[in-house]
Amino acid sequence: MGMESEQIDGVHIKKIVRHDDERGYFSELLKRGEPGFHTIEQTSYAVCKPGVIKAFHFHDYWESWVVLQGKAQIVIHDTRSGSKTEGQTQVIRAGEEEPIAISIPPNVAHGYKALGDKDVGMLYHAEEAYDPDRKDQIGTMPFDSKEIGFDWGNYG
């Protein structure tokens, strides 16, 4: 399932099953009532060029990610004070060959790197709609944050 490290408390990873036939395939990504499913107020799609790192950000609502194209290294860091996994980092590989849905709890920093030589297409489901007028809605940390201390060069 692409897991490369211990799981952060509250992070949920769902293996996505492909149902193939001669016409193509079908997959269920997220379904109400399943573990890791949360209210969806906004769905977005982003494309990231090979080798690019988009990290880190955090917010006070749930977010679910699915890599639809390419391959990504997803890094999640628990910044929640008092969490039983506070200060821990989780690394997950996901993509076309390792299809998973990742649900990320509020106030957990997350980001990703596009691996290989193909663009990464990332689908985001957010529990809260983005409001550009709310400056406090999304917090950011640099990809090379000393607090997180993740070496992006050791993976990929």
**Residues assigned a catalytic role:** 57, 124
Altogether, the residues listed in the chain come to a count of 156
* CA-closest candidate to residue 143, choices 55, 75, 73: 55
Degrees, nearest 5: CA angle 64-43-50: 70
Contact 83, 89 (CB under 8 A): no
| Alpha-carbon distance values, 57 to 42, 78, 94, 96, 146 (Å) | 17, 12, 19, 24, 14
